[in-house]
Amino acid sequence: MSPPDALPPWRPLLRGAREREGRSPQARWLQLATVAADGTPRVRTLVFRGWAGATALDLLTDGRSAKPAELVHQPAVELCWLLPRARSQFRLRGCLQTLSLEQEPRERERHWQMLSPSGRALWGWPPPGEPFNSEAAFPERLPDGSPLPDHFQLLRIALNQVELLELTSHPHRRRCWRESTGWVEELLNP
Ligand SMILES: Cc1cc2nc3c(=O)[nH]c(=O)nc-3n(C[C@H](O)[C@H](O)[C@H](O)COP(=O)(O)O)c2cc1C
């Protein structure tokens, strides 16, 4: 077993695969799968917003969108991160983490400050998924210093299993790491 803050073996592999993408914004896009209240699946693309320690990652969303309610009902998620230049697919399983009362506002504020004015603007738009109203305001920018809206939501996902499929060799290479076994690498058939 490695110390809790040591990087698990899949982290350098993921970093290497992301580096192969160069400056492409796609290197930060991943798909988040959730389960809706009726038990049916939902999936959508989100931007990776950074690591929170060795095995948790941060996502940002609009609290008025569908996914936060789905996560209340089922906090377990799967993320799929395709890094095409490395011909690698990472499948990350985890659970929505509840932040402490001191940590949550601090971390939300930190992410809010780090966004560019155009990145922040989305949280100035009307509620996602509601009928479009052409009269409504859709700002292109929210300048630095704009107040943090209540619906600016941080999703911190604590990961408990990572699977990597690489198509770079014959046969393809599939590996899995689980938190429950100390992130020891398991080789699987592709
Ligand atoms: C490239 C790309 C990046 C996106 N990044 C985010 C993001 O970081 N956070 C987010 O909430 N939605 C993001 N979206 C929009 C979501 O995919 C989705 O449409 C929206 O969050 C509503 O999802 P929901 O109704 O399932 O909650 C992104 C979409 C694309 C195409």
Residue 45 C-alpha from the chain's centroid: 9
Give me the pLDDT at residue 80, please.
99
- From 44, 79, 123, 125, the mutation candidate for ligand 1 (largest count of ligand atoms within 8 A of CB) is 44
Nearest to 160 by CA among 105, 79, 69: 79
Q: Which fold has domain 10-110+152-188?
A: Pnp Oxidase; Chain A (2.30.110)
Cα–ligand 1 centroid distance for 126 (angstroms): 15
- Residue 34 per-residue DSSP state: E
Give me the pLDDT at residue 145, please.
95
User: Taking the model in full, what pTM does it have?
Assistant: 0.97
In the predicted model, residues of the chain with pLDDT beneath 70 are: 1-4
